[in-house]
Structure 1
Amino acid sequence: MIQPNFTVSPAALKFMRRMVRFSDTPTGGFRLKVAPGGCSGYSAEFSVEATPRDGDAEQSVEGLRMFLPAESRLLLDGVTIDHVDTPLQSGFTFANTKGGACGCSSSGDAVTPPAEASVTLSSIKRL
């Protein structure tokens, strides 16, 4: 089973831990489903689950149980997951150090900045 090599920022880890702690299943885990979304990044859905679903892999991040579906494990490899909470934006951001700023076309040998996407609270749906 593929275990992705990803980084979770302290802000994202704090948010995930709070979601689990204040849920109906505080001994459960944080399920993060990531899919390609838009030209430059990812879309994400999350929930707190008592146990992993069929096909999920459990990965521990500083003691937090994370449940990741197969496609999410592939997409998160090399990604930094962050959480921002400002007056203008609230939600996860994903910075992919392996990818370019846009996956729509190739720019040859040009150096591109890391890809980044964000998920706002209004776009999150309960699984």
Structure 2
Amino acid sequence: MTNVTLTPAANKFISRMVRFSGQPAGAGFRLHVTEGGCSGLNAEFTVEAAPLAGDSIVEVGGLKMFFTSASRLLLEGVTIDFTDTPTKSGLTFINPNQAPCACSSSGPGDHAHGHAHGNAPAYATVSIDSIRRS
């Protein structure tokens, strides 16, 4: 069983996505997570009528979520939040098991990685622009 936590903001966002998706009752929120990106996670999400082949159904915060087996492993112990600000909107993954990564850009085309060490969790944000339509 995957130990994933949803903040109230994430729960509200995901439940609205499912409710207004046009999918039949029983639809779920499919979250496909892969390793990568500066913060350690990349993700895509869709609302599906049923899980795809190989997906696991996980109930999180009263919501039906579909995870690939790799996603379930990567999301173990992670808190999913939803951020909506004037500059960005999307899901944020708070991973207490991974060191944070601070990225900075010192000029055009120059991307420098600096890994911060400490007890602060890593954050990864997935923009709502990455929503795939089924």
| TM, length-normalised to structure 1 | 0.85
Which residue identity lines up with residue 76 of structure 1 in the other structure?
A: L
Distance 2:17 2:115 in 1: 39
Q: Which residue of the partner structure matches residue 76 of structure 1?
A: 75
Q: Which residue of the partner structure matches residue 106 of structure 2?
A: none
Instruction: Give the CA deviation at 1:105.
Output: 9.0
Give 2:10's match in structure 1, choosing from 4, 9, 12: 12
Q: Which residue of the partner structure matches residue 23 of structure 1?
A: 21
Return 5+ residue gaps in structure 2 as ranges.
102-112
Residues 40 and 116 in structure 1, CA contact (< 8 A), matched pair in contact too: yes
Larger radius of gyration: 2
Distance 1:121 1:93 in 2: 11
Within a 5 Å distance, the mapping from 1:62-101 to structure 2 comes to 62-101=61-100
Q: 1:114 to 1:69 in 2, by over 3 A?
A: same
Instruction: Give the CA deviation at 1:6.
Output: 1.3
Which residue identity lines up with residue 20 of structure 2 in the other structure?
A: F
* Percentage identity across paired residues of the two chains: 52
CA RMSD of aligned residues (A): 2.0
Return 5+ residue gaps in structure 1 as ranges.
none
Q: Greater share of strand residues, 1 or 2? A: 2
Q: Which residue of the partner structure matches residue 120 of structure 1?
A: 127
| TM, length-normalised to structure 2 | 0.81
Distance 1:9 1:106 in 2: 26
Q: Which residue of the partner structure matches residue 55 of structure 2?
A: 56
Distance 1:95 1:82 in 2: 8
